[in-house]
Amino acid sequence: MLLLYEQVERERCREAAHARKGKTVFSMITVDTRQGKRIAIISQSELCDPLDTGEYVRAYCHIHGSDHQRSLSINRATGWGHCFNAACEAIVLVAEWNPRIAQRLIHPHGGGASAFFPSSYASQEKRAPLFYQPVLLRPTRPAPKWQQDELAALLSLEKQMRAALLHSRRARAYLEERGIPLEIALATGVGYLPEEMLRLPEAKGKWEVLHRWAERIVFPLVSLAGEGYVGRTLWGWHPGMDENAHKSLLDRPRRPRRWIKTNPAGWFCSDLDQLARKLILVEGAFDRLTLIAAGFQATEVVALVGTAAPADWFPPHVDTVILALDADEGGREASNKLADRLTREGFDVRVHLPQQEKWGKDWNERWRRMGDQAIQAISDVYVEARSA
Ligand SMILES: [Zn+2]
């Protein structure tokens, strides 16, 4: 049965390849990116005899018509793949595995999700042999029980944490010394979890998962997998203490970690659907608050907080990404990698590397020391992108 299926499948691939050589257009769509790369957006039903090898799926390449080697290798989680055949080297994207990117590449200027799959996809879909498809679905692993409990406990305290930020003299002093107006912190959903909150009736039975969040400024995170939090500890901080002195205090052994996150984590930003068309990506939560305090809209700035920038998180209307990461070695490296990937994925990418490292490596530090002058360059880049 399997042999017979394989024969039929190979036959189908061969026919498809021949048809392609005869210039018959199949459902595949090719898109040329701004950088001159050609990407073949294909449907999973076009994959010839795919073999699941874990992270990657291997298939005969129907683009150059190979029928003796599975030269097409596709990352199952991202949908991106390429052909190893030196004469082909096709770059492919499997549309169903990364529908947002496929949609962006096909309709670079928006267009609803329903407009995504052209009718040829639908007809291919019907022809797809159904029984190999389940193997190709993305695996989703649920978070361990304690992480689920931790997230649920934090969610249940969200209102109290916001009220605590408003009422805690210490948390307010900390924000003030970092130059963040309280109203901006409150408007972006920031809260605080004071030690006393662990004794509230609402926190009963949750000490186990909550105690590591005590004394932390808590930022809400969003992701396609759901809500999450990241928390910055104020342990050992006292008013008047310099931010860098606090950092080095926390860097010593057996100190609370400066930042902790839930699972899922995510970005500190407005709801994904609300994001502006042109976005500034920064590294830290305080960098985002800084740029908002300096006049940017909350919907214009995304803090990655250590979470990669999976392109399918961006809503389809986002067309420009300005990378404004830290001015240190790590920030530069991350900028380059991210710029490469996001460009390939169809975004207009601009990299802004601040020239004022001597005034501090991140936006918050430079802003505290230089004032509005620290923000001028990124404002110019943003205005230029807006008018492009
Ligand atoms: Zn090929």
**8-22, 49-63, 206-220, 328-342: segment of lowest average pLDDT:** 8-22
Question: What is the Å distance from ligand 1's center to 21 Cα?
Answer: 13
pLDDT band at 15 (very low <50, low <70, confident <90, very high): low
> pLDDT (tens digit, 9 = 90+) per residue, 49-60?
898 877 789 999
User: Residue-wise over 288-310: b if at least 16 C-beta within 10 A, else e?
Assistant: bbbbbbbebebebbbbbbebebb
As a whole number, mean pLDDT of residues 172-191 equals 96
Longest dimension (CA), the chain: 76
pLDDT band at 360 (very low <50, low <70, confident <90, very high): confident
Q: Which residues are within 8 A (CB) of 308 and not within 5 positions of it... i.e. 6 or more apart?
A: none
Cβ neighbourhood burial of 75 (10 Å; 0-12, 13-18, 19+):
middle
* Cα distance between residue 279 and residue 21, in whole Å: 42
Question: What is the Å distance from ligand 1's center to 138 Cα?
Answer: 24
Question: What is the Å distance from ligand 1's center to 17 Cα?
Answer: 11
pLDDT of residue 193: 98
**Residue list, CB under 5 A from ion ligand 1:** 61, 63-64, 83, 85, 88, 90
pLDDT of residue 20: 52
* Cα distance between residue 299 and residue 219, in whole Å: 16
As a whole number, mean pLDDT of residues 28-37 equals 72
Question: What is the Å distance from ligand 1's center to 49 Cα?
Answer: 14
Average pLDDT, the chain: 83
Inform me whether the pLDDT recorded for 376 exceeds 70: yes
pLDDT of residue 66: 72
Question: What is the Å distance from ligand 1's center to 100 Cα?
Answer: 24
Inform me whether the pLDDT recorded for 10 exceeds 70: no
pLDDT of residue 294: 93
> pLDDT (tens digit, 9 = 90+) per residue, 114-170?
333 333 333 333 333 333 333 333 445 678 999 999 999 999 999 999 999 999 999
As a whole number, mean pLDDT of residues 28-57 equals 82
Question: What is the Å distance from ligand 1's center to 233 Cα?
Answer: 52
* Cα distance between residue 323 and residue 280, in whole Å: 6
Amino acid identity, position 265? A
pLDDT, greater one: 387 or 270: 270
pLDDT of residue 261: 97
- What percent of the chain has pLDDT above 90? 46
pLDDT, greater one: 64 or 3: 64
pLDDT band at 353 (very low <50, low <70, confident <90, very high): confident
Question: What is the Å distance from ligand 1's center to 355 Cα?
Answer: 44
Question: What is the Å distance from ligand 1's center to 92 Cα?
Answer: 10
User: Residue-wise over 14-43: b if at least 16 C-beta within 10 A, else e?
Assistant: eebbeebeeeeeebbbebebeeeeebbbbb
HEC secondary structure over the chain: CHHHHHHHHHHHHHHHHHHHHCCCCCCCEEEECCCCCEEEEECHHHCEEEEECCCEEEEECCCCCCCCCCCEEEECCCCEEEECCCCCCCEEEEHHHCHHHHHHHHCCCCCCHHHCCCHHHHHHHHHCCHHHHHHHCCCCCCCCHHHHHHHHHHHHCHHHHHHHHHHCHHHHHHHHHCCCCHHHHHHCCCEEECHHHHHCHHHCCCHHHHHHHCCEEEEEEEECCEEEEEEEECCCCCCCCCHHHHHHHHCCCCCCCCEEECCCCCEECCCHHHCCCEEEEECCHHHHHHHHHCCCCHHHEEECCCCCCCHHHCCCCCCEEEECCCCCHHHHHHHHHHHHHHHHCCCEEEECCCCCHHHCCCHHHHHHHHCCHHHHHHHHHHHHHHHC
pLDDT of residue 125: 33
Question: What is the Å distance from ligand 1's center to 37 Cα?
Answer: 15
Inform me whether the pLDDT recorded for 190 exceeds 90: yes
Question: What is the Å distance from ligand 1's center to 40 Cα?
Answer: 11
As a whole number, mean pLDDT of residues 193-221 equals 95
As a whole number, mean pLDDT of residues 368-376 equals 89
